[in-house]
Structure 1
Amino acid sequence: MFDDIHGLTPERAARLTPLVEQSRPMLDQEEGMEAVQRFLRDQEASVIDSIVVTRELLGAGPASLGPAKEIVFTSAARTTELKEHQRFVERIEEA
């Protein structure tokens, strides 16, 4: 798992692997990937870690990064966090 992600430390991979394993059954639920995103948020997974986990759930191929980013960035579970990030970026741009 995570064999093709450069720079991912063994410790981080060990931390993310259980998140992938716990998330897989959620994909069969009615809410599917949105349930996964809520779970990852509740586990305090960062946006980047959530993308890595989501990418793995999508099959981890080269074409899965874009869809994984879109899923995480558009998830209702991340709305507050992403709005805060956007305000931060806007303040930096104004400075």
Structure 2
Amino acid sequence: MLDNFRSYAPERASRLTLLVEQSLPLLDQENGMEAVQHLLRSQGASVIDSVIVTRELLGGSPSSLNEAKSIVLLSAARTRELRIHHQLAEKFEQA
């Protein structure tokens, strides 16, 4: 288990660790981070867990959170989630 996941429930920490381990080889591909996002989506990882895994792949520093969030939400694997996010933001702004 990765040290950054110790504060999570053991089952979740194990799942996140496994997702990171499965994702690492994909980073060597031409479109590595996009391949990672498709893997995470196909494994049923939530947006939040995908951000956590992506942040870890980026080095796990606090400054990598915004970059990880952008990578996940702007990925072709998450177009549905991005559309829903924009719809909710528009409704919030109109309220």
Name the TM-score, length of structure 1 as normaliser.
0.83
Decide which moves more: 27-36 or 61-70. Answer: 61-70
User: Equivalent residue for 2:10?
Assistant: 10
Which ranges of structure 1 fall in alignment gaps of 5 or more residues? none
- 1:1-95 superposed matches below 5 A: 1-3=2-4, 8-88=8-88, 90=90
The higher-RCO structure (CA 8 Å, 6+ apart) is: 1
Q: CA RMSD in A?
A: 2.0
**Number of positions where the alignment pairs a residue of Structure 1 with one of Structure 2:** 94
SS of structure 1 residue aligned to 2:44: coil
Runs of 4+ in 1 over 2 A off after TM superposition: 5-8, 84-95
Counterpart-to-counterpart distance in 1, 2:29 and 2:61: 23
Counterpart of 1:68 in structure 2: which amino acid?
A
- Identical aligned residues as a percent: 61
Displacement, 1:70? 1.0
Alignment deviations for residues 1-40 of structure 1 (CA, whole Å, 9 cap, x no partner): 153x685222211111111000000000011100000110
Which ranges of structure 2 fall in alignment gaps of 5 or more residues? none
Name the TM-score, length of structure 2 as normaliser.
0.83
